[in-house]
Amino acid sequence: MTVAEQLLMKTTILLLVSDPVVRSVLQETLEREGYTVRATGDLGQAVDRLTECTPDLLITRTYVEGLPGHEAAMYLRTKCPTMRVLMLGGLLDDERLQYRAALQGFEVFPKPYTAAELLQEVKDVLSKPQG
């Protein structure tokens, strides 16, 4: 097993996506690639997951059960400051959202995307220095 494969197996992703079908497909895609995924559909459950693990990456949508995704991500990052953030979904061409995400150091990845493109984006985000 290569060093990269060993690191991948130790990488934990917190997946915060309200839609159960989308969450399930994303979780399956990430787990097939070797990531450990802690999936949840709401902010309260995401906070609970942080008591179980220290994720390397939070993947969330632009909106989570009526809450803007960047607000959920900012709150979760107060609990886990080293966690990287990748926001998925629509409306990412909105300049206000781009500005808010940039202020927090979040990465954004607009729809549509393929599984291969998503996995590459996850690898790219994880390869950047934590900050």
CA angle 86, 69, 30 (to 5 degrees): 40
Q: CATH code at 62?
A: 3.40.50.2300
Res 95: pLDDT? 67
Tell me the pLDDT tens digit for each residue of 51-87.
999 999 999 987 788 788 888 999 999 999 999 999 8
Q: Residue 9: which pLDDT band, with cuts at 50, 70 and 90?
A: low
Residue 3 has pLDDT above 60, yes or no: no
In this structure, is residue 130 part of a structural domain? no
For 21-58, write each residue's pLDDT tens digit.
999 999 999 999 999 999 999 999 999 999 999 999 99
**Domain encompassing residue 106:** 3-125
Distance from C-alpha of 63 to C-alpha of 94, rounded to nearest angstrom: 13
Write down the pLDDT at residue 128: 87
Give the pLDDT mean for 2-28.
82
- The stretch 114-127 carries a mean pLDDT of 94
- If one counts the domains in the chain, the total is 1
Q: Tens of pLDDT along 90-108?
A: 655 566 666 666 667 777 7
Please indicate whether residue 113 or residue 95 has the higher confidence score (pLDDT): 113
Residue 18 lies in a domain: yes
Q: Stretch 1-10: mean pLDDT, rounded? A: 56
In a domain, 101, yes or no: yes
Q: Is residue 87 part of a domain?
A: yes
Query: 106 or 131, which is more confident?
Result: 106
